[in-house]
Amino acid sequence: METRELGKSGLKVSALGLGCMGMSFGYGPAGDKAEMIAVLRAAVERGVTFFDTAEVYGPYVNEELVGEALAPFKGKVAIATKFGFKIDPKVPRGIAGLDSRPAHIREVAEASLRRLKVETLDLFYQHRVDPAVPIEDVAGTVRDLIREGKVRRFGLSEAAAATVRRAHQVQPVTALQSEYSLWWREPETEVLPTLEELGIGFVPYSPLGRGFLTGKIGADTKFGETDFRNLSPRFAPQVREANLALVARIGEIAARKKATPAQLALAWILAQKPWIVPIPGTTKRARLEENLGAAAVELTPEDLREIGAAADAVKIQGARYPESMQKMVGR
């Protein structure tokens, strides 16, 4: 597996990472623990060295899963986790609001170290920008944790370009994690140019559009009761048919390249910048193999123009988050 450096941070990881959230949270019931551990270890065997989790996934159980699965590979893989939510298991999805107070950041760091079974957190993201806490205070707290040896690098998630700049002045930001795919290209406007200027890496989550770009979701697909996609306006039955036009076009191009739609969508992201590392998630070994195969798909400049034009030609219907969650992104 090719490796990439996240910006100019010195952190080199596999070109494709693995998003672990769906193994425990977000897309229905948690997967069988033994099966999920097998998928995580299979990823390591295939050359994946970058794994993404967060305390809020579960809550807590995803970090525990990742910690147990990757314990035999200490020093050989990088694990990213996140802080920034107020967690209350008694509320839906366990999320009771935002909390990036310095004291809370420290509490999360200590707890994540225990659950992940590591001495230092490789990459510690602020999960969502907290308007109640100046970003300078957040960056300063992580800077102190780095000096204490509890964290190696600082990251942000779904932060606006101006926020990234402010944070970077206090503590260099290694990576920004935000949604990016052929059906959500908004980061190209301001975020990606800012990251390139500052030498910061980019880690796209949901690079397959929460499964939509794989071609496995149809107009009549039903999601489980606890699946986040039931809440996403972009997956609403009344707009799904229109959005499938993009999937059909991607499928046509992929077939000509002897690739799957998922592989084409991932290869397109990899071709954008050499400091971009997408983190597709999966709970299945077969899908893991398929996704990793994207690294071998070569796209010519003509291919990239055609794919970009296909995406531009389809106006995606529906917001990516419900209104209550939309307020937490792009701050």
| Cβ partners under 8 Å of residue 149, min gap 6 | 119, 120
Q: Which residues contact 233 (CB under 8 A, 6 or more apart)?
A: 239, 318, 319, 320, 321, 322
User: Cis bond leading into 204, ω under 30°?
Assistant: no
**Cβ pair 112, 63 in contact under 8 A:** yes
d(CA 293, CA 271): 14
Residue 241, C-beta contacts closer than 8 angstroms, at least 6 positions apart: 219
Q: In sequence order, what DSSP letters do the residues of 292-306 get, joined into one string?
A: HGGGG----HHHHHH
Residue 205 annotated in active site:
no
The residue annotated as part of the active site, out of 57, 180, 205, 321, is: 57
Query: In this structure, is the dihedral angle defined by the CA atoms of residues 53, 205, 139 and 83, taken in order, positive or negative?
Result: negative
Distance CA 244, CA 213 (A): 9
From the CA atom positions of the chain, what is the Rg in Å?
A: 19
Catalytic machinery residues: 57
